[in-house]
């Protein structure tokens, strides 16, 4: 994808390669800022190892899994599996961004650092789930094999700017999903673990959000189109997980992640930071994308309000049944 930019003196045609080069200095600045504020942490310190015991298999004293062995709630169990399987596909994510952003210079340093930090998330979540017996270990492994065997291809791999826009929203969406899962899990240990993961995800969001802001200064029309496309067509990277649609519906009802949360806590904060509707100096295509983005957000807010009403009615019915 290319666009003619009026912001660099004589007209220049933007390509992914030129944008990567033009944003390298911003990436280096954001990488240095990230390294100053990010805190290393040890996954093993968040796992209740004393709760662990053998499963059936090589050990004669192995105890079969039963969901009553864990204090994690049903919605917590569902969300934890979805969140972990999403984290499991890290090799595919790394391949996608390394192929797009490159492995050299500041871009490459960030790609590898991000991958190393994300690797902790899958480690600590799996150790917690198995040690606390929060989920069926056999089914978890079967889901992992099925999901990773499919691999992952980003909807935005055709464009560097689309990819930057996507991860700016997706990292925040992941942070919110982890944080709400912790709140709904019923286990303080799980809540603390997911809060630690959410902190990482928030820092990753800030990196990409700031990079996206810099892209608007370079190529506002192209960046506006990328944001419009990503917001309108957004879906979580774990959409290929077996049974994802059913799990997503349960997570929506359980208030882990739903339309209202997506609108208020994921899309709006990034769009407000970018002052997306106040950006001027756009060409015809940029103005069209800006208008379409505003209309989409209005429509999403209306749909979220309908969902809110249905959810409130469901809660009222359940409360009435409990009182009967």
Give the whole-number percent of the chain exceeding pLDDT 90.
Answer: 80
Q: Check: CB of residue 201 under 8 Å from CB of residue 175.
A: yes
Does the pLDDT of residue 5 top 50, yes or no?
no
Following DSSP, what letter does each residue of 100-154 receive, concatenated? HH-SSHHHHHHHHHHHHHHHHHHHHHHHHHHHTT-S-HHHHHHHHHHHHHH----
Q: Which fold has domain 16-46+63-323?
A: Ribonucleotide Reductase, subunit A (1.10.620)
Domain boundary assignment for the chain? 16-46+63-323
Would you state the pLDDT for residue 12?
Answer: 57
Give CA–CA dist 176/87, Å, rounded.
14
Query: How many CA atoms lie less than 13 Å away from 29 in the CB half-sphere?
Result: 8
DSSP state of 275: T
The tens digit of pLDDT for each residue in 62-96 reads 899 998 999 999 999 999 999 999 999 999 999 99
Residues that constitute the known binding site:
87, 118, 121, 171, 201, 204
Would you state the pLDDT for residue 77?
Answer: 95
pTM of the model: 0.91
Q: Check: CB of residue 178 under 8 Å from CB of residue 194.
A: yes
The tens digit of pLDDT for each residue in 119-173 reads 999 999 999 999 999 999 999 999 999 998 888 888 888 899 999 999 999 999 9
The tens digit of pLDDT for each residue in 237-256 reads 888 888 899 999 999 999 99
- The residue that leads in pLDDT, 238 or 193, is 193
Residues that constitute the known binding site for Fe cation:
87, 118, 121, 171, 201, 204
DSSP 3-state assignment of 236?
coil
Q: What is the mean pLDDT of the chain?
A: 92
């Amino acid at each position: 994808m290319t666009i003619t930019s009026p912001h660099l003196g004589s007209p220049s045609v933007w390509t992914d390669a030129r944008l990567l080069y033009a944003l390298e200095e911003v990436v280096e600045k954001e990488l240095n800022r990230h390294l100053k504020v990010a805190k290393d942490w040890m996954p093993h310190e968040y796992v209740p190892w004393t709760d662990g015991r053998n499963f059936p298999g090589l050990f004669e004293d192995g105890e079969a899994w039963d969901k009553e062995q864990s204090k994690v709630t049903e919605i917590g169990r569902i969300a934890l599996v979805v969140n972990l399987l999403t984290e499991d596909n890290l090799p595919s994510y790394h391949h996608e961004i390394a192929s797009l952003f490159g492995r050299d210079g500041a871009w490459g340093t960030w790609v590898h650092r991000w991958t190393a930090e994300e690797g902790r998330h899958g480690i600590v979540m799996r150790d917690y789930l198995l040690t606390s017996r929060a989920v069926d270990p056999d089914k978890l492994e079967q889901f992992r094999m099925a999901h990773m065997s499919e691999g992952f291809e980003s909807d935005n791999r055709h464009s560097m700017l689309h990819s930057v826009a996507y991860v700016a929203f997706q990292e925040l969406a992941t942070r919110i999903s982890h944080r709400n899962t912790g709140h709904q899990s019923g286990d303080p240990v799980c809540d603390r673990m997911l809060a630690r993961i959410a902190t990482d995800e928030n820092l990753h969001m800030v990196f990409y959000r700031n990079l996206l802001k810099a892209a608007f200064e370079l190529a506002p029309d192209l960046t506006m189109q990328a944001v419009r496309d990503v917001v309108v067509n957004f879906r979580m990277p774990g959409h290929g997980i077996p049974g994802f649609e059913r799990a997503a519906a349960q997570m929506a009802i359980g208030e882990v992640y739903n339309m209202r949360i997506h609108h208020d806590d994921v899309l709006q904060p990034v769009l407000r930071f970018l002052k997306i509707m106040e950006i001027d100096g756009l060409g015809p295509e940029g103005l069209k994308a800006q208008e379409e983005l505003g209309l989409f957000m209005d429509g999403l807010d209306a749909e979220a309000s309908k969902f809110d009403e249905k959810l409130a009615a469901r809660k009222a019915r359940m409360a009435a049944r409990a009182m009967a």
